[in-house]
């Protein structure tokens, strides 16, 4: 039975169902038996790893959350019924219009520009062990990519607008460019899943250093060195082999149960465990993807599905009950949304005033730096 309360299936109920299934199967020697065992194992790992997924509720007959599962249908529902707890989940696509190169786009991407550093392989630049031996290439690259010279995009300010309207439950980002903070989204609303340039720590004694300090070091071509122990200081971005920030493990369990609209923007949903967050939204939570291509479907075979998996996004499936896609650039999708909601003027005003404020701030900083240099 499937009720309207979206009661999560408890492990007890799940086990009971498995028992019933396996008893039936003993008589029938169903060729699907192997699948059932696999499914039980998948559930076991999902529970062990605290990765409860929507898959357990797949037996529910398909009943659409809203009748019209299109972008217009979603906007209409938003206008008439509203949402209370919106989660935004984003990747590099929301920052590309700011001029920040996408790590993974062939040609324009970061990895393609790494040849000059003579690395053992491109990803070495983000490996802790390599960094400890040879931090120079990382800082040379950091100087090119350093946040601060970029303005947040309309997509960032849309998230800020959601926050101001009291609708933003949380913003989960894969980006390390700090543009969410620059856009004024407060720390408690942010989960920077892959870390951030905003804070920095000594790799040995863990002393914290500010973004300003780090920026000065990087731009004066010094190797950022801890003042107390002389070890190298590293921005808090997550390197390969490092744990994601604590918030990434503690908050989704609370957030995704409450969420009634998940907006996914500018991500290929290929990087785990971030991508698997889409499956943590309850069955009655609408999911809107704004992206250049339709992504997020799960092939039901791969390892990622086993450990992280749920069915993923289901736009083209006959069983789709809640997934909606807008194919296009993030900013275009955001403008279409705010137009439908009657928020265009508000978003325009927010962008205009914030960009003016940032321009003033940057000018003051430049003047101050000039003064400092003259007195030195």
Interaction site with Zn ion (CB under 5 A): 202, 204-205, 207, 226, 229, 231
Minimum CB–partner distance for residue 134 and Zn ion (Å): 19
Which lies closer to Zn ion via its Cβ, residue 204 or residue 247? Answer: 204
Rounded to 5 degrees, φ, ψ at 34 are -60, -40
Which lies closer to Zn ion via its Cβ, residue 201 or residue 292? Answer: 201
**Spatial separation of the C-alpha atoms in residues 22 and 244, rounded to whole Å:** 38
From the number of C-beta atoms within 10 Å of its C-beta (0-12, 13-18, 19+), residue 92 rates as buried
Minimum CB–partner distance for residue 209 and Zn ion (Å): 9
> Can you tell me which residue has the tokens 């996914």?
264
Which lies closer to Zn ion via its Cβ, residue 189 or residue 204? Answer: 204
Structure tokens at 365: 């900083």
CB 98 within 8 A of CB 151: yes
60 labelled ligand-binding = no
Rounded to 5 degrees, φ, ψ at 192 are -90, 90
Rounded to 5 degrees, φ, ψ at 199 are -120, 160
202 labelled ligand-binding = yes
- Known catalytic residue at 194: yes
Minimum CB–partner distance for residue 341 and Zn ion (Å): 49
205 labelled ligand-binding = yes
2 labelled ligand-binding = no
Q: DSSP per residue over 98-109, as a string?
A: GTPPPTTSTTTS
Minimum CB–partner distance for residue 135 and Zn ion (Å): 14
Which lies closer to Zn ion via its Cβ, residue 156 or residue 234? Answer: 234
> Which residue among 194, 201, 300, 355 is the active-site one?
194
From the number of C-beta atoms within 10 Å of its C-beta (0-12, 13-18, 19+), residue 264 rates as buried
Residues acting as catalytic residues: 194
Specify binding-site residues for Zn(2+).
Answer: 202, 205, 226, 229
């Amino acid at each position: 039975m499937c009720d309207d309360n979206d009661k999560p299936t408890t492990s007890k109920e799940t086990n009971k169902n498995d028992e019933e299934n396996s008893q039936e199967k003993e008589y029938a020697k169903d060729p699907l038996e192997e699948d059932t065992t696999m499914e039980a194992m998948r559930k076991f790992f999902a529970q062990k790893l605290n990765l409860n997924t929507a898959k357990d509720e797949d037996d529910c007959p398909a009943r659409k959350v809203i009748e019209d599962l299109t972008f217009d249908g979603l906007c209409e529902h938003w206008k008439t019924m509203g949402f209370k707890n919106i989660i935004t989940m984003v990747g590099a696509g929301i920052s590309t219009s700011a001029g920040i190169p996408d790590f993974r786009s062939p040609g324009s991407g970061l990895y393609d520009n790494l040849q000059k550093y003579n690395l053992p392989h491109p990803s070495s630049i983000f490996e802790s062990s390599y960094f400890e031996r040879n931090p120079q290439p990382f800082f040379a690259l950091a100087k090119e990519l350093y946040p601060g010279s970029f303005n947040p995009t309309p997509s960032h300010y849309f998230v800020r607008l959601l926050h101001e309207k009291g609708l933003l439950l949380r913003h989960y980002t894969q980006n390390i460019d700090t543009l969410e903070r620059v856009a004024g989204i407060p720390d408690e609303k942010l989960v920077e899943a892959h870390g951030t340039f905003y804070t920095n720590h000594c790799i040995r004694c863990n002393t914290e250093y500010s973004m300003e300090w780090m920026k000065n070091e990087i731009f004066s071509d010094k190797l950022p060195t801890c003042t107390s122990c002389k070890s190298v200081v590293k921005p808090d971005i997550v390197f390969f082999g490092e744990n994601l920030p604590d918030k990434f493990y503690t908050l989704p369990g609370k957030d995704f149960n409450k969420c009634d609209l998940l907006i996914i923007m500018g991500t290929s949903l290929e990087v785990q465990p971030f991508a698997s967050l889409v499956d943590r939204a309850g069955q009655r939570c609408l999911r809107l993807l704004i992206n250049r291509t339709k992504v997020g479907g799960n092939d039901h075979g791969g390892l990622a599905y086993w450990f992280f998996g749920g069915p993923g996004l289901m736009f083209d499936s006959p069983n789709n009950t809640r997934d909606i896609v807008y194919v296009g650039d993030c900013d275009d999708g955001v403008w279409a949304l705010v137009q439908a909601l009657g928020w265009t003027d508000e978003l325009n005003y927010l962008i205009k005033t914030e960009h003016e404020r940032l321009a003033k701030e940057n000018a003051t900083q430049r003047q101050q730096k000039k003064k400092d240099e003259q007195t030195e």
